[in-house]
Amino acid sequence: MNHPAIEQPATTVARLRATFATGRTKPVEWRTGQLRRLRAMLTERGTDLAAALHADLGKSSTEAYRTEIDFTLREIDHTLDHLQEWLRPEPAPVPAHLGADATAWTQYDPLGVVLVIAPWNYPAQLLLAPMVGALASGNAVVAKPSELAPATSAALAELIPAYLDTDAVAVVEGGVPETTALLAERFDHIFYTGNGTVGRIVMRAAAEHLTPVTLELGGKSPVFVDRGADLGVVADRLARGKFLNAGQTCVAPDYVLTDPETAAALEPVLVRAVEALFGADPAQSPEYGRIINERHFDRLSGLLGSGRVAVGGGSDREAKYIAPTVLADVDPASPVMREEIFGPILPIVTVAGLDEAIGFINDRDKPLALYVFTESDATRSRIAAETSSGGLGYGLPLAHLTVSDLPFGGVGESGMGSYHGRYSIETFSHRKAVLDKPLG
């Protein structure tokens, strides 16, 4: 069935709720069918999405496929491979006073109509990957792409209805007014990826209907570089993780903590790592992206004076280009350390050692990720035991969110709830307790 291109949010939600009430989305065959259709969309029209991502963020085709299209394909394939196993009822022991003939188990029930609100930095992946879990769980889905990535939003609004069940999946485009109207409706779950300011708005709106929420937020994800770490490896992996998508990644390394001697030795190695990735002039590199818009460009430009420039520092407002930049001698009270950077600026802050680094991290909001470069098992153990973060990565930034069997999510200011793989089923389902006592 084809529906009008423009539909009021209340009408959209009511229509999807009516579909869900028929039981249409509950059979495993419908769920896997939708995932296969989504897979077909990505394989058949991936080049269209890659072109839209380049238009919005300057992403190369290689980066668009690696971080958005192929990433989502892996999530789909992993879910298709394991869905029957994940949905299998799980027996529970029954106490003796209920009798030997009583049995108990838990089963996953779909929630109903789910709203997924995506951000602009990975506008395809961060809309579609949550949808994988929502559809696999048997829900109807309202998908809200980011208006700040207009080319990708338009592409998704065209492609999703062409491939998925339009009676159970709808795309709502628009900005703040459309999102506000959606949030006034009653959903059975809201999944939001973005910043804490809007996260609070989402949570307040959800509270009106006692709607559960998953909030995937951000924060300043620290990096601790221990004495004796192989700085060549550290610099290469730091540069790749930090400057991917021009630093506009929620789990990007936000700042580096290390002792003064290691900081001095790390600087020139980072300079070489940036040049190895993007050449002498990153502005000419087809692999280096651009800032999403002028507002974020202006915000980031204002942070460039927060320290001594070790590499980079150049910018071009018309091109929305900010060079991959490393700042040294950064004061912890400087502007670049007051908020999540979300751009291609990497400050280095010196600390006396591990004790001070742990204290520095714990004095601030709990981050979405924490990265540690060390050869010391004792250091690894202390970091794990004495800090709190959404995820913890030893030796390699960003990689933990590519492991489908790990939950991805934040804690405290960096979010609540998690997803990926079977954790998406837990997020988008209700685990129902069932007891059976025969009448005889």
Same domain, 279 and 202: no
Residue 63 burial (CB count, 10 A): 20
User: pLDDT digits over 263-278, tens only?
Assistant: 999 999 999 999 999 9
Contacts of 253 (CB under 8 A, 6+ apart): 221, 222, 223, 238, 241, 242, 346, 371, 397
- Choose the catalytic residue: 250, 267, 340, 426: 250
d(CA 255, CA 222): 5
- Choose the catalytic residue: 63, 75, 185, 216: 216
Same domain, 178 and 230: no
d(CA 413, CA 264): 32
Is 426 considered catalytic here? no
Asked if residue 297 belongs to a domain, the reply is yes
Same domain, 267 and 356: yes
Same domain, 102 and 204: yes
Same domain, 18 and 105: yes
Residue 318 burial (CB count, 10 A): 7
Same domain, 432 and 419: yes
Same domain, 204 and 167: yes
User: pLDDT digits over 18-53, tens only?
Assistant: 999 999 999 999 999 999 999 999 999 999 999 999
Same domain, 257 and 236: yes
Same domain, 163 and 256: no
Asked if residue 1 belongs to a domain, the reply is no
Domain interval for residue 122? 9-217+414-436
Tokens for 8? 């009021």
Q: Any idea what the CATH number is for the domain that residue 202 is in?
A: 3.40.605.10
Per-residue buried b or exposed e for 68-91, using 16+ beta carbons within 10 Å of the residue's own CB = bbebbbebbebbbebbeebbeeee
Same domain, 156 and 233: no
Is 216 considered catalytic here? yes
Across the beta sheet with 429-436, the strand order is 90-92, 103-110, 429-436
User: pLDDT digits over 47-79, tens only?
Assistant: 999 999 999 999 999 999 999 999 999 999 999
Asked if residue 249 belongs to a domain, the reply is yes
Number of domains in the chain: 2
| Nearest by Cα to 219 from 192, 237, 194 | 194
User: pLDDT digits over 287-311, tens only?
Assistant: 999 999 999 999 999 999 999 999 9
Q: Which residue has the tokens 């350390």?
A: 337
